[in-house]
Amino acid sequence: MAEAEPVIRAVLPDANVPASIRSTGVPVVHGSASDLGPVLDTMARRACRRDRLRHRRSHVPGDVPRPVADPELSKGLEFDLVVLIDPEAFGRGIEGAVDRYVAMTRATQQLVILTSS
């Protein structure tokens, strides 16, 4: 993923960053952390349309399964949609960059990066 490569290169310029074999043509979405609710609602509507289900906005926490994992636990896993909230808070230096890179590359269809600043 082109968006993730500079994250690693910033701390490890000579890193052997693998070339992405997957491209959906869907651009990475950047926005404010306050947009989390609308982003999830939009993605749920798209999934319902795709799966021909009727969309219902849930106001009950936990009503819709939304896996949440930190970068360390998500290694090796893939998700259609990945929403990162304040990825700079994952840490500094090499460890933080690796965690951001891992989190960004878990998306198979759509990556959304939301920041508080």
**Length of the chain in residues, anyone?**
117
The pair of structure tokens assigned to 116 is: 């508080």
- Whole-model pTM: value is 0.74
- Identify residue 58 by its one-letter amino acid code: S
**pLDDT score of 30:** 92
Non-local (6+) Cβ contacts of 81 within 8 A are 43, 107, 109, 110, 112
Q: What is the distance of C-alpha 79 from the center of its chain? A: 8
Residue among 94, 74, 92 nearest 84 (CA): 74
Q: Spell out the alpha helix ranges (H) of the chain.
A: 5-9, 36-50, 71-74, 93-104
**pLDDT tens-place string over residues 38-65:** 887 887 777 666 555 544 444 445 455 5
**pLDDT tens-place string over residues 29-38:** 899 988 888 8
